[in-house]
């Protein structure tokens, strides 16, 4: 088993993710950690709320991981994503990729986060002092 996908309502743990992809044949681990930013275009964000179409989100993340395994010589891939409410500085997403050599790990990690943002059915709502907005919903 070289792929781990998880949607979680509770806190994501970075060290657990790194430990899971670590293997004796690994020469490097590339990790992307998404964090909740305190502002969007100068407007203060109070918190974010994430909603997922869970079954499909998991299967789309699995597809992306399989594509990355086919495209680059990487050994293990982990994708964890949060749902529910997140405060500023909390972690909505962790991607960890282990490979024998760093180029493949960097490239695969970048591909995974970029593709996740385009295809995985997860939605983020920004909560402001005076309202809320589903991100990317409108042109």
Partner 1 sequence: MKINILAFGIAKDIFGASTVDVELVNDATVSNLKYLLEKQHPRLKKLATYMVAVNNEYALDGDTIHERDEIAIIPPVSGG
State the nearest-atom distance from the C-beta of 24 to partner 1, in Å. 31
Could you give the residue ranges of the DSSP H alpha helices within 22-132? 54-71, 102-119
CB nearer to partner 1: pick between 3 and 113: 113
- Across the chain, the runs of DSSP E, i.e. the strands, are 3-8, 28-34, 39-40, 43-52, 74-82, 84-87, 93-99, 122-128, 131-134
Among 4, 90, 121, 128, which residue interacts with partner 1 (rule: CB under 8 A)? 121
Q: Which of residues 11-50 bind partner 1 (CB under 8 A)?
A: 34, 50
Cα–Cα distance measured from residue 19 to residue 35, given in angstroms and rounded to the nearest whole number: 20
Q: Which of residues 65-104 bind partner 1 (CB under 8 A)?
A: 81, 92-93
Residue 112, φ and ψ in degrees, nearest 5: -65, -45
Q: Using CB under 8 A, count the residues that bind partner 1.
A: 29
State the nearest-atom distance from the C-beta of 25 to partner 1, in Å. 29
Count Cβ atoms below 10 Å from residue 53 Cβ, excluding itself: 13
CB nearer to partner 1: pick between 48 and 105: 48
Among 59, 66, 84, 102, which residue interacts with partner 1 (rule: CB under 8 A)? 59
**Structure token pair of residue 19:** 């430990």
Quick one: 20 exposed, middle or buried, by C-beta within 10 A (0-12, 13-18, 19+)? middle
CB nearer to partner 1: pick between 94 and 105: 94
Residue ranges in contact with partner 1 by CB under 8 A: 34, 50-53, 55-57, 59, 81, 92-93, 113, 116-125, 134-139
């Amino acid at each position: 088993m070289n792929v781990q996908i998880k949607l979680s309502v509770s806190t994501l743990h970075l060290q657990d993710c790194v430990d899971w992809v670590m293997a004796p044949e690994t020469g490097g681990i590339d990790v992307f950690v998404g964090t909740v930013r305190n502002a969007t275009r100068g407007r203060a964000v109070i918190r974010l709320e994430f909603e997922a179409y869970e079954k499909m989100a998991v299967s789309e993340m699995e597809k992306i991981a399989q594509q990355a395994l086919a495209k680059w010589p990487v050994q293990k891939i982990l994708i964890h994503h949060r749902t529910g409410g997140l405060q500023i500085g909390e972690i909505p997403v962790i991607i960890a990729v282990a490979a024998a050599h760093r180029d493949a790990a960097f490239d695969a990690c970048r591909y995974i986060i970029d593709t996740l943002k385009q295809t995985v059915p997860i939605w983020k709502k920004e909560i402001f002092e005076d309202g809320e907005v589903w991100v990317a919903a409108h042109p």
